[in-house]
Amino acid sequence: MRSLKWFTRILLTALALANPASAQSPPGGFVFLRDIDPSILQDIRYAGANNFVGRTLSGYEGAECVVKREVGLALKRAQQELSPQKLSLKMLDCYRPARAVHDMVLWAQNGRETPAERRYNPAFGKKDLFRLGYIAEHSGHSTGAAVDLTLVDLTADNSGAFDPGKAYADCTAPADARAPEGSVDMGTGYDCSDLKAHTAATSITSAQRRWRNALVAVMAKQGFVNYSKEWWHFSLPGAGGPAYDFPITKRLR
């Protein structure tokens, strides 16, 4: 007769498989940001076609922001500060599976570049993205401690939708000519590999400077550090660790 312990183990395995929500949970230390603060807006760009690669990246099976718990709690505190001002954070990327980073590497080395892809790096070819520090072969996003985000004015019309068939201007163009972001005008689009996207760039308007300063200030108050070449990229020192490669799945709860 098989042991009770064996039977219990089989029963627990069967229950886990029968419960999709349990099976879709991130590993220990990681959380779905919606479980921490559902009011924070999300537009996870690598889970669709609205990004510099032009397709869903490997490992993005769900359009969900997954982060280390301490990162999620810090984002919640930032959101609480913004809410009385009718502003919201909007997450563009959070945890990034290592396989997605490798996907970016292969894309950058494939020897092809379409006009739609070139919108994101108008001043140079994509083969130079790694050399110039715009893409890293080992990303802090894969530790769960780095995020890409912007600000949304909740009183504004943010209804503009991305049209994959439209020939938009490049990411440094005025906001009404480039692909819609559904957020405040930071001077460039998201993932714009250009000097104008550097956080301290001098080639932006005073209004765009105020928005960048506001984002940096609210994030810095919670301990986040900005990456100087990307106004949207922030990391939380001490929250990282090893790189992970589990896929981002749909949150079913």
pLDDT in tens, 161-214: 999 989 999 999 999 999 999 999 999 999 999 999 999 999 999 999 999 999
The set of catalytic residues is: 230
* pTM reported for the whole predicted model: 0.89
The pLDDT, as a whole number, for residue 23 is 40
Domain range summary for the chain, segments of one domain joined by +: 25-235
Question: Whose CA is closest to 67, among 226, 248, 222, 199?
Answer: 248
Q: What share of the chain is helix, strand, coil (3-state, %, to 5)?
A: 35, 10, 55
User: What is the distance between the alpha carbons of residues 42 and 65, in angstroms, rounded to a whole number?
Assistant: 7
> Is there a binding annotation on residue 148?
yes
CATH code given to domain 25-235: 3.30.1380.10
> Is there a binding annotation on residue 102?
no
**Token output for 200:** 């301290």
**Model pLDDT for residues 24-60, shown as the tens digit of each residue:** 678 889 999 999 999 999 999 999 999 999 999 999 9
> Is there a binding annotation on residue 163?
no
